[in-house]
Each structure stands twice: as C-alpha cells, then as structure tokens.
Amino acid sequence: MSKQRGFSLYAIAFWIALASFAGLLFVKFMPIYADQFYLNGFFEDVIEESYAEDFGKNELLTRIQRRMQINNLDNIDLKDVTKFDGEQIIVEYTVQTHIIYNIDAVVSFSKTYNWNPN
C-alpha cells in the first residue's frame, strides 16, 4: 500500500482563501499608509524650508496643502487634523475603510513635529 502525500482539496482551498484575504487587506490598507507616508514627507520638507525662508504657520499650511493637491491627497482636510501647540505641530486623524460586507477598519495616525517659526 502506498502512502498518499500532498495537499487535500480543503487545504488548497484554505490557502487560496487566506492569500486572497491577505491580498484584499493589502489593497485596502496600502493607499491609506501611502497617504500617511507622503503627508509625513510633506511636513518634514516644508518645516525644513520654513527654517531657510522664515515663514509662518499660514504659509506652512498653504505649502503643505498645495503639495497635497499636486499628489492627489484629497481625502485629508489639513485644517481639521493639524493643531499648533507652541513649538510643536500635532497631526492626528483617522481613516475608515470598508473591508467586506459589514466589516470596516479604522486606522488612526498621530505624529508630532517640532517647529520653531522664529
């Protein structure tokens, strides 16, 4: 009698379903994290520029908003998520995305940047 080897049909179906779900999560979450990555870079670059050109809070927000428009980051309203606290800029926001059927995911971001406008 020979011994059977390999995956059963159920095991193959399980791994296909698992890979499909992981792919779905990747497709849903990647744009959210990419937007955060770009927004983080915008703040760091514009804060660096502010030290060289010496501009204030309104100009800082205008330049970041302009970069967001150029890169099509329209789902984040900068005025709602940005708080100025002395020499710190606090950016906090959440993004809700639909996963499947009645399952949603909420992703929260919070980042503090040091900024001395003088």
* Model confidence pLDDT, tens digit, residues 80-97: 788 888 788 889 999 999
Q: Is 34 within the bounds of a domain?
A: yes
Q: Is 17 within the bounds of a domain?
A: yes
Q: Is 53 within the bounds of a domain?
A: yes
How many domains are there within the chain?
Answer: 1
Q: Is 1 within the bounds of a domain?
A: no
Q: Is 4 within the bounds of a domain?
A: no
Domain that holds residue 70: 9-114
Tens digit of each residue's pLDDT (9 = 90 or more) over 29-81: 999 999 999 999 998 888 888 777 777 888 888 888 888 888 888 778 887 78
The token pair at 73 is: 């980051």
Q: Is 22 within the bounds of a domain?
A: yes
- pLDDT on residue 11: 86
Q: Which residue has the higher pLDDT, 102 or 78?
A: 102
Q: Is 32 within the bounds of a domain?
A: yes
Dist. CA 22–CA 37, nearest whole Å? 21
Dist. CA 39–CA 46, nearest whole Å? 11
Instruction: Give the pTM.
Output: 0.79
Give me the count of residues in the chain. Answer: 118
Helix (H, G, I), strand (E, B) or coil at 86: coil
Q: Is 67 within the bounds of a domain?
A: yes
Closest Cα partner for 95 from 115, 70, 76, 116? 76
b/e code 83-109 from CB counts within 10 Å (16+ = b): eeeeeebebebebeeeeeeeeeeeeeb
